[in-house]
Structure 1
Amino acid sequence: MRIAITGSTGLIGTALVRSLRADGHEVVRLVRREPRARDEVAWDPRRQWVDGAGLVGCEAVVHLAGAGIGDHRWSAAYKKELRDSRVLGTAAIAEAVTALDTPPRVLVSGSAIGFYGDTGDRTVDESAPPGHDFLAGLSQEWEEAAGAAVEAGVRTVFVRTGVVLAREGGACGKLLPLFRAGLGGRLGDGRQYWSFISLHDHIAALRHLLADAALSGPVNLTAPRPATNREVTAALGRVLHRPTPLPAPAPALRLVLGEMAGTVLSSQRVAPRRLLDSGFTFAHPDIESAVRAALGHS
C-alpha cells in the first residue's frame, strides 16, 4: 500500500513510518521544505497548499502534523500557532485529497481527547459532547477542518489521542529525567485521570484504523483502564526504583505553566469504546504494563 504521512518526524509519525516500512508498505512523507529525498512531498499548511502530484496513487493518508501542545507557554501568539497548524493544515490535506482523480480510500486525521474537556470522574466515550475550554474548541475546529474529505465520501477517521507513553518523547519523555533523579511526584492532588496509551498500542491502533473499512468518525486512542496521576506517578516510581516524594502543588503549576496548567490538572477519564468494539486488542491495557513498555522493561 502507498501511504502519505504528515508529521512523519514526530514521536508517533517516526514510529508509524518505521512500522509500515518494515511490513513492505511504500511511505510518502510530507515535508514543509524543499524535498531532498524521493519519498518526500512538499506542502505548506499555512498557505494551505499541497503538492498533489505526490499524493497520486496513495491509498491512505495519515495526517499527524501540528505544533506541540506542551512545547511553549500558551501566549496569545502560541495559541494561534496551535490553531493554525492544525486547522489550516487539516483543511489543506482534506482539499488535496478530494482534488485527486482517484482519492485515497481513507484519511486518518489527528485529534485529541482534549475534545471532551474536563470530565472529572465521569467516564466518556466517542458519543460524549465536546467540552468548553480552549483545547475542546481547538479539537472541534481541527476535526471540522476535514469536512471536504468527509463530504467527498472519503472514509475519514479522527483519532482522539490521549497521553502517549514513550521513552523517546511526549509527556513520559519529559517526566523521566525528574523521576530518574528521584525528584518525581504527583501533579496537584493527583486524583485527576490521565487517559494514556503506549506508543506500541498507538501505532497498532493506527494500523487497525487503516485496515478496518467499517470505522469512520471519532475513535478514542486510549488504553481501556485510565489511571489517576497518583497511579501514574506510583508506576513510574516502581519501574524506575525511585522515590516519588515531591508533589507539584496546583498553584505552583499555574504560576509556571499559565493556562496550560489546566491541561495537566484536568481529569479526562476516556474509554476507547469504538476501538474495543471493532476487535482491537491492547498489548498494554494498564498503566504498569504501559510504563514498562515505554521504559523497555516489559
Structure 2
Amino acid sequence: MRILMAGASGFLGTRLLGRFTADGHQVTRLVRRPPRGPDERQWDPSAAQLDPGVVADADAVVNLAGAGVGDRRWNAGYKQLIRSSRVDSTTTLAITMAGLPAADRPRVLLNASAVGWYGDTGDRAVEEDAPAGEGFLADVCRVWEAATRPAEDADVRVVRLRTGLPLDRHGGMLKPQLLPMRLGISGKLGGGRQWWPCLSMADFLDATAFVLARDDVAGPVNMVGPAPVTNAEFTRELARLLHRPAFVPVPALALKVALGGFATEALSSSRVLPGALTRAGFSYRHPDLTSALKAALTT
C-alpha cells in the first residue's frame, strides 16, 4: 500500500513509520522543511499548502501531526499551538482529499485524536459513543475530529484514533517516570485514583495496522488497552517490576506549580474502553498492565 504520512518524526510517528515499512508499505512523509530524500514531500499546513498530486499518489493517508501536549509548560501561546498544529494539518489533508476526483482519492484517512475527547470521566467507563467532555483537551479533540469532515463527506473512510497512553521506555508518559522511580523518589500523582488508559506500544502499532486494513472500521476508535488501571495501581506495578519503593507521592499542588495548566489534565481520570476494537475482533498481545509494562521495559 502507498501511504502518505504526516507526523512521522514524532514519538508515535517514528514507531509507526517503522511498522509500516516492515509490513512492506511504501511510505511518503510530509515534512515542513525542504525534502532531503525521495520519500519526502514538503507541505505547509499552517498556510493550507499541499500539492494535490502528492495526495492523489497515495492509497491511504495517516496523520499524526501535532505539537506534544506534555513537551512544554502550558501557556496561552503553547495552548494555541497545540490546537492549531492539529486542526491545520487535519483540515489541509481533508480538504485536499475531498477536492480530488473520486478515482484519485485515497481510500482511507487514519487521523490522530486522543482520549482527551472524553474529558474527566471519573470512575465512569466510556466507549466511542460517549459525547465530548469538558476542558481544554476535550475542546481540542472536538475541533480536531471535526476537521476530518470534508474527507468523510467525500466518501473517504475516516478513522479517528483516540489514543490513550502507549507505553515505551524511550518516550511518552513512561520515560520521565523511570529515573525518579529507579532513584526511589517517585510515587502516585495526586490521590492516584485517576484512571489511566494504557496499552503496550506493540498493541498500539498492531491496532493501527488492523484498522488500516479493515474496510469495515470507521469513525472513532479508542486506542487503549482492555483493562484500564488507576494511577496508584500503575505506580505500584511499575515499582514492583523495577524492584524499587514508591513511597513519595507527588502532591497535586506541586504538579500544578511544575506543569501549569497541563497539571489539570495529568490529574484527570480517563476510564476509556476499546469498544470498537473489541467488536471488530482485535486481539491484544498484552491485555493487562503487567504484560504491557514488561514489554515496555525490555524493548
> Offset at 1:238?
1.3
- Residue of structure 1 in register with 2:67 after alignment: 67
Secondary structure at 2:261 match in 1: helix
1:172 partnered with 2:139: no
- Structure 1 unmatched ranges of 5 or more: none
State how far apart, in whole Å, the 1-side matches of 2:67 and 2:244 are. Answer: 32
- Residue of structure 1 in register with 2:273 after alignment: 271
Q: 2:160 aligns with which of 129, 137, 158?
A: 158
State how far apart, in whole Å, the 2-side matches of 1:180 and 1:37 are. Answer: 41
State how far apart, in whole Å, the 2-side matches of 1:57 and 1:217 are. Answer: 24
- Structure 2 unmatched ranges of 5 or more: none
1:179-218 map, 5 Å: 179-218=181-220
> Offset at 1:72?
1.3
Secondary structure at 2:284 match in 1: coil
Q: 1:140 aligns with which of 117, 139, 142?
A: 142
- Residue of structure 1 in register with 2:118 after alignment: 116
State how far apart, in whole Å, the 2-side matches of 1:196 and 1:277 are. Answer: 19
Once the two structures are overlaid, the 10-residue window that deviates more, 23-32 or 48-57, is 48-57
User: TM-score under structure 2 normalisation?
Assistant: 0.97
- Residue of structure 1 in register with 2:90 after alignment: 90
> Offset at 1:51?
2.6
Secondary structure at 1:97 match in 2: helix
Matched residue count: 297
Once the two structures are overlaid, the 10-residue window that deviates more, 167-176 or 105-114, is 167-176
State how far apart, in whole Å, the 1-side matches of 2:67 and 2:129 are. Answer: 27
**Cα deviation code 1:110-145 (max 9, x no counterpart):** 000000000000000001111111110110000001
> Offset at 1:207?
0.5
Once the two structures are overlaid, the 10-residue window that deviates more, 94-103 or 155-164, is 94-103
- Residue of structure 2 in register with 1:39 after alignment: 39
- Residue of structure 2 in register with 1:262 after alignment: 264
Q: 1:235 aligns with which of 215, 233, 237?
A: 237
State how far apart, in whole Å, the 2-side matches of 1:86 and 1:287 are. Answer: 30
- Residue of structure 2 in register with 1:57 after alignment: 57
**Cα deviation code 1:189-224 (max 9, x no counterpart):** 111100111111111111011001011110100001
Secondary structure at 1:108 match in 2: strand
> Offset at 1:57?
2.5
> Residue 292 of structure 1 aligns to which amino acid in structure 2?
K
**Cα deviation code 1:145-192 (max 9, x no counterpart):** 111101111000000000111111100012112112222210001111
> Offset at 1:258?
1.6
